[in-house]
Amino acid sequence: MAKDKKARFLDRYIVIDPEICHGEPTFRGTRITSSCVNILDEQIVESQRQNMG
């Protein structure tokens, strides 16, 4: 059974490529996963909440 090796674009910046990061959604042209950025975003928001009181 042949695997689909083509990259799929989810939108302008997010791509899924089976040969990059095991097919996880990444930012186009990088190996930065969208889930990694989401986690960092949540950590920044939580840090700001703690700093504001």
Give pLDDT tens digits for 13-48: 999 999 999 999 999 999 999 998 888 888 888 898
30, 36 in Cβ contact below 8 A?
A: no
Q: How far apart are CA 40 and CA 30, in angstroms?
A: 17
- Strand, coil or helix: what is 45? helix
Q: Domain coordinates of the chain in residue numbers? A: 8-52
pLDDT of residue 5: 80
Confidence of residue 4 (pLDDT cuts 50, 70, 90): low
pLDDT of residue 1: 43
